[in-house]
Structure 1
Amino acid sequence: MQCPSSRCMRLLAVFLCCISSTLSCELSYWVRNFVFDDVTINTHVISSASDVTTVFYCAMKCKETPFCGSISYNDDGTCRLYPVVFPNDATFPHSPGWRHFFSPTAGCILEQGYVWLNRINLCIKVLIEKEVLSDVRNSCSQLGARLVVLDTKEKNTDVGEYLKANVDEGMYFIGLTDVQQEGRFVWENGKDVGFSNWVRGEPNGGTRENCAVISSITYQWKDYPCRGCNFICEKLF
């Protein structure tokens, strides 16, 4: 049975069979993006291999790699893994032999406003919505995300650099509050603060300021009332 050509030009299902020692198979679903036929995608590359015999083995490599959301395979055996799904209007160099596939469950989708920070393997989305804390958390949750947890110097620096280069100057909510116990700031993942980057003298707001915000200029934190700021979600995988 033939499928309609328009449908075939949109999607191609590629089924990946992973054979274990017990010869059992696990089925995964991949979609071919014909827009990227015969183009080289050379940005956001997690890893690349030149000895991959088939696109199925390339897909297996992606399945085994944390944060992998799409692949490109060339008929010369080159396999590239990416953390994101690229928008159809992206422009890349022409190069024969490449075929691109993505997982429908891949979460860090650039065309939906997500940003992949490659050095720290983090997918974030900045929301320009000044809401109260409960609504902020709900907005992140609806994206399959949470307020960003900046528990390392590297994460704080890279997120701060992104804000400074790409958003309006201001303060942005992060996933750190002392709502449950005054004076004890806890991350959205339930962990106490280890690394911190408070402005000197902060936190100092007492019960009036139970949330933490990051400056898009200095990358430092202040305590702040739990309402009225834009915020940053991080995608959970």
Structure 2
Amino acid sequence: MFQTSHYVFVTLFLEVFCKQRSVSYSVVDIEVTDYPFTVSYPNFSILQCGTVCTEDSYCTEFLFNKTNKQCNAVHCVNKPGYSYQFLSPKNDQILRFRKDLNWMYMGHYYYPVEKTATWEEAKLECQKLCSYLVEINSKEESDWLAASFLMKDSCDSNVYLSCTAWTGGNDRSTEGEYLWDHTNTLVSFTNWYPEEPNGRDSENCIHLEKDGSWNDQSCDITLSYICEKNY
């Protein structure tokens, strides 16, 4: 009874505390056996633990040990200036709270981010979520992504001007040789808009347009982006 009440209390607190930050948490079972990037905070309350994770954009979840009050904020990517420790939670006294994000499943998990970023910034933001910039392997996937995340009534009629999103495709290493960034594999399927790609060495990153077609664009402009993960 205490454990259930404790979960409810913490969940309600985090919901209230984080509401204005658009962050909420769910209590989940320990599924991951190893956490290579954890930041340790000794003698924290569970509420302090949730607070520090909420305020850290690199933190995707936190682990709290009910016995020794050890708080561990979990990162998916190394944050400069942080001291990390490796954690293997095999203790039933450890509670796990994960940030809720509205991933959509269609073979893989996809998460659209409406805030804009350069290609490099978008890549890092996806890595923070234990994911990567979307990699598209079929016309069905390209069309589904556009229909699910980009087609909106507010979109401009010009496919180039609005409602577009970064993918992981780029030819930054070798002009004309497009690779998927995460898997470092050649882009075998393509869905270029007519007369694209045409930017040569000034436009090296692929973005998805609202009709499902692709365009090469300067990696330094800011666009929304779509993150993908396998599980």
Task: Report the TM-score, using the length of structure 2 for normalisation.
Answer: 0.53
Q: 1:201 aligns with which of 190, 195, 203?
A: 195
Q: 1:183 aligns with which of 164, 171, 176?
A: 176
The alignment partner of 1:144 has SS state of coil
CA 222–158 in structure 1, closer or farther in 2 if over 3 Å, else same: same
Q: How does 1:62-211 map to 2 (within 5 A)?
A: 111-112=100-101, 114-117=102-105, 120-165=106-151, 169=155, 170-188=163-181, 189-211=183-205
- Give identity over the alignment, percent: 21
Distance across 2 between alignment mates of 1:183 and 1:134: 19
Show CA shifts across 1:103-135 (max 9, x none): x69x8x7x42x2323xx3221111123222221
CA 30–5 in structure 1, closer or farther in 2 if over 3 Å, else same: closer
Offset of residue 9 of structure 1: 5.4
Distance across 1 between alignment mates of 2:117 and 2:129: 16
Task: Report the TM-score, using the length of structure 1 for normalisation.
Answer: 0.52
Check if 1:221 corresponds to 2:214: yes
Q: 1:231 aligns with which of 202, 221, 225?
A: 225
Question: Do the aligned partners of 2:119 and 2:222 also contact (CA within 8 Å) in 1?
Answer: no
Question: Do the aligned partners of 2:108 and 2:230 also contact (CA within 8 Å) in 1?
Answer: no
> Which amino acid letter does the alignment assign opposite residue 143 of structure 2?
T
Offset of residue 202 of structure 1: 0.7
CA 5–140 in structure 1, closer or farther in 2 if over 3 Å, else same: closer
Distance across 1 between alignment mates of 2:153 and 2:216: 21
Offset of residue 145 of structure 1: 0.7
Distance across 2 between alignment mates of 1:180 and 1:138: 18
> Which amino acid letter does the alignment assign opposite residue 7 of structure 1?
H
CA 174–152 in structure 1, closer or farther in 2 if over 3 Å, else same: same
Question: Do the aligned partners of 1:198 and 1:222 also contact (CA within 8 Å) in 2?
Answer: yes
Distance across 1 between alignment mates of 2:152 and 2:107: 19
Aligned to 1:6: 5
Question: Do the aligned partners of 1:144 and 1:236 also contact (CA within 8 Å) in 2?
Answer: no
Question: Do the aligned partners of 1:129 and 1:230 also contact (CA within 8 Å) in 2?
Answer: yes
Indicate the RMSD between aligned Cα atoms, in angstroms.
2.9
The alignment partner of 2:197 has SS state of coil
Show CA shifts across 1:75-95 (max 9, x none): xxxxxxxxxxxxxxxxxxxxx
Distance across 2 between alignment mates of 1:187 and 1:167: 30
Aligned residues: 141
Offset of residue 10 of structure 1: 6.8
Unaligned runs of 5+ in 1: 12-28, 32-103
Larger Cα Rg: Structure 1 or Structure 2?
A: 1
